[in-house]
Amino acid sequence: MTKCPLGLVYRSMCIRTLKSIWNKQSTKNYVIESIKRSSGNLKPIVVIDDATKKAECFIANADLTDFELYTDMLLCRKIETIAEYAITKHHIQTSNKSKIEKEKFTTINEKRNYMHQELETKDEKEFNKFVKEL
Amino acid sequence: MTRFLFGSSAGGHVATPVTIANGGTGQTSAQAALDALAAASGSLVQGDILIVDASANLVRLARGTDNYVLTMNGSNPNWEAASAGVSLSGDNTWTGTNQFQDEVSISAGDCLTFELSTRTISSGAITGNGNSISVDTEASASSDDLNQADFSGSAVSGSVFYLKAFNDGRTVVVKDGISGTGEFLGSGDFSLDNGQDVIAFSAFYGLTNNYEVSRSDNL
């Protein structure tokens, strides 16, 4: 059975992913198959542009063969608030950094870019240096 | 009258035992002596015990009725019906496997029943062992699918359990509707993507299916 692609995240209200992942046909095929398996997976797919950090929505068409644009500005805006988190997390998870480093910096990334909390100066510097090396 | 007892130096016992009538036992070994005294009492039967009374005499306490327990009543033990329940005070700890077959209620104080345990995915599944489980990916992969949680060996039908990701860096995708023992039946797949994501299920249908109760996430 095909595993869920890394970076394709199934949430309660949507599926979110990055444009670089969404552009792969295998990702679209996976989502179509997941909808056929469970109708609960039929929900908006919010795609974050890796470069601009802007989001756009898609939904599967009626035949479950492809996707079409779907307008939900509110959902897009919500996801854009964590675009940095999603992009950085994907970079960390796909990097060849050690398990320990991945654990540490995904947690810091969550604090900084998901919960939008201020980091201590030392952590901020260390995090920025780590991300730059990815 | 003064009595003299003569014993052999080798065996340590009297050559001619003193009879019961004269204050002895009439026997030459300990067990035989006790048996002889019990028989001579004329009233001791199986199950009786000997206790010391108020005059410091050894007296018979007749065996109790079935399911009675020996309870102190003043200065003397007595056989009495066991009370319907046991009342415990102070701190108590049960070890091993304990089962309460009827209702359990907490009348006061806190009741924390969930202890977070950790399970690592193996071939897309975990074996349930608690109500609150932290799930890790197989071989610490950055992402892994969880297709089933088998609670058939350690739960009763209807047991509720919660799943969360073991680590922020490793995403666990709980997949809906993948057949197998402990398959999840809910409202679609769910990625345990960070430390705030939790999904709850009830193990039902002969513990072969896990029905989703709720899920908690943000974006």
How far out from the chain centre does Cα A28 lie? 14
Structure tokens at A32: 């179509």
The pLDDT mean for chain B works out to 86
Structure tokens at B69: 């327990």
Q: Tell me how far apart the alpha carbons of residues B46 and A32 are, in angstroms, rounded to a whole number.
A: 80
Q: What is the pLDDT of residue B147?
A: 97
Q: Tell me how far apart the alpha carbons of residues A58 and A78 are, in angstroms, rounded to a whole number.
A: 15
Contact B168 A106 (CB under 8 A): yes
Q: Is A7 helix (H, G, I), strand (E, B) or coil?
A: coil
What is the mean pLDDT of the segment spanning B59-64?
Answer: 88
Of A10, A78, A107, which has the smallest distance from its Cβ to B191's Cβ? Answer: A10
Question: Which is more confidently placed, A1 or A94?
Answer: A94
Per-residue pLDDT at A124 exceeds 60:
yes
Per CB-CB distance under 8 Å, the chain A contacts of B191 are 4, 9-11
Share of chain A above pLDDT 90, in %: 98
Enclosing H/E stretch for B96: none
Question: Which is more confidently placed, A4 or B85?
Answer: A4
The confidence band for B127, taking pLDDT boundaries of 50, 70 and 90, is very high
Q: Dump pLDDT digits (tens) for A76-95.
A: 999 999 999 999 999 999 99
> What is the least distance, in Å, from the CA of A101 to any CA of chain B?
9
Q: Dump pLDDT digits (tens) for A20-47.
A: 999 999 999 999 999 999 999 999 999 9
Interface test with B, best of A8, A9, A115 (most B CBs within 10 A): A9
Per-residue pLDDT at A55 exceeds 70:
yes
Q: Is B174 helix (H, G, I), strand (E, B) or coil?
A: strand
> What is the least distance, in Å, from the CA of A98 to any CA of chain B?
11
pTM for the complete prediction?
0.74
Per-residue pLDDT at B18 exceeds 50:
yes
β-sheet bridge partners, residue B185: B211
Instruction: Assess contact for A75 and A13: CB atoms under 8 A.
Output: yes
Q: Within the 13-42 window of chain A, which residues sit less than 8 Å (CB to CB) from chain B?
A: 16, 34, 37-42
Interface test with A, best of B193, B201, B215, B216 (most A CBs within 10 A): B193
What is the mean pLDDT of the segment spanning B145-169?
Answer: 91
Q: Where are the beta strands (DSSP E) in B82-186?
A: 116-120, 125-127, 132-136, 143-146, 148-150, 159-165, 171-174, 183-185
Q: Is A20 helix (H, G, I), strand (E, B) or coil?
A: helix
Instruction: Assess contact for B160 and B174: CB atoms under 8 A.
Output: no
Q: Tell me how far apart the alpha carbons of residues A93 and B137 are, in angstroms, rounded to a whole number.
A: 13
Structure tokens at B58: 């050894």
Q: Of A41-55, B71-85, B120-134, which range is least confident?
A: B71-85
Interface test with A, best of B136, B191, B219 (most A CBs within 10 A): B219
Per-residue pLDDT at B58 exceeds 50:
yes
Q: Is B191 helix (H, G, I), strand (E, B) or coil?
A: strand
Among the listed residues A56, A6, A70, A60, the one whose alpha carbon sits nearest the alpha carbon of residue A33: A60
Rg (CA), chain B: 34
Contact A106 B167 (CB under 8 A): yes
Please check whether residue A111 touches B, CB under 8 A. Answer: no
Instruction: Assess contact for A73 and A47: CB atoms under 8 A.
Output: no
CA angle centred on A20, ends A15 and A24, rounded to 5°: 80
Instruction: Assess contact for B125 and B150: CB atoms under 8 A.
Output: yes
The confidence band for B9, taking pLDDT boundaries of 50, 70 and 90, is very low
> Could you tell me whether strands B125-127 and A15-18 are parallel, antiparallel, or unpaired per DSSP bridges?
unpaired
Q: Dump pLDDT digits (tens) for B30-39.
A: 888 888 887 8
> Could you tell me whether strands B209-216 and B148-150 are parallel, antiparallel, or unpaired per DSSP bridges?
unpaired
β-sheet bridge partners, residue B122: B125
